[in-house]
Structure 1
Amino acid sequence: MATIAKYNPDMTVDEITQELTTEAENEGTTLDVLAPQIAAEVEKEAAEVQKDREIDEAMSESSSQVSTRSSSGVSRDKILPHGKVLGDIYWTAAGAGWNHIGLYYHVDMAAEAPGKGQVSRVVYTNQVKVANNYGRYSIRVDKPYRVSAANWASRHRGKPYNLVFWNNKTIEASKYNCSQFVWASYKISGYDLDSDGGSGVYPDDIRDSSLLKHY
């Protein structure tokens, strides 16, 4: 439980235990069996996040960038550029917690679940900030499915933020985190963007999907 709590500092141990207990009951297993499995996945994802932060810091140093950086060494202070077509995806390293991912609702508009205490939204890209280590991606699906994903995201604006990443693969939910929001928008059409098939879908899992192509 300590490992899961370490990488989910916005949740108390009691909250984490309650979530895991409910999940274990739903899956017909026990907390003692489930918790180590979740802890292993969380540790793997956290290691990827740390690599992304180190890359971002190196990029900043090489460009002699002077900015106010978080304690993790990442500063999201760049404006998100436009996408190429609706349904494209953007990813960025983040200064705290997990990385961040969102969807282009239009070439100059972003659909995302921005973070704790905020609701899912559709905004112009000049209101979204990214780090030096960020990426934009086209997705290898036909236009009708990209339109469907963008429309789904628009219909699900105003939803509270979901702190639970390790068990977030629910399409129609009362709350969403960033990767869940993007994953669900394409899962409704049968496209699973989770590259590793774990119990939770994280931003890096979507970034690494074979359906995505960096540009």
Structure 2
Amino acid sequence: MLQITGSLFSLGLKVKIVPPVQSWIDGDLSVGQIKEVKIEDLLGRDPINIKNPDLEHQYDNKVILITGAAGSIGSEICRKVSLYNYKKLILVDNAESALYDIQQEFRQLGLENIEAIVADVRNRTRIDQLFNLYKPKIIFHAAAYKHVPLMENNPFEAVSVNIGGTKNVADIAVKHSVDKFVLISTDKAVNPTNVMGATKRIAELYVSCLKGKGHTKFITTRFGNVLGSNGSVIPLFKNK
């Protein structure tokens, strides 16, 4: 379906989902049955439900801080974590407009105890202040530059955020005896052939070196290509 949709978009056509042809023949088709294409329609399987008892126990009454909270990965982590009985959810990002959007989304859902903080992970003093103020126990570090071609032309920024920013947040997590630090990495870190992948691999190695240095448990998870993420084909299709 994705190939067909892509071909139609390339022709400048809009794509919608309609009921089976038999419904047309039987005269059962109505305007309300014509729907926009959703990401789930292109997935080819049912979405995975990640809410489970183990996570409920881990997140219960905990202050959870998410960096890169306004990004495509970070914001989805926020949505999933918000399903649990957290004590407070701290959303950290330096992109104020996108952070405002996710904040408004949560407010419309009636979610409480959520703080949206404009901050840059490269600012070590500022991040330390946030840890002192909110005392988070679980960290999801999703803040990163991820676009491969852009980072090839902007290696300084890739190094300063993907390596320097990760070092700051990880060091401060150890300093404040955070329970768990989860680094969101990428499959591009495997035998890296570009700046983005190399910086993420260095970030992984640094985090690995901190294991056993204190109370904090460090975990690294790698993402492949994520359907619907910023810069992927789905948002491009939607903007056509």
Same fold, TM-score > 0.5, yes or no: no
Structure 1 or 2, whichever has the larger Rg, is 2
TM-score, normalised via structure 2 length: 0.26
Question: TM-score scaled to structure 1, two decimals?
Answer: 0.28
Q: Which has the higher contact order (CA 8 A, sep 6+)?
A: 1
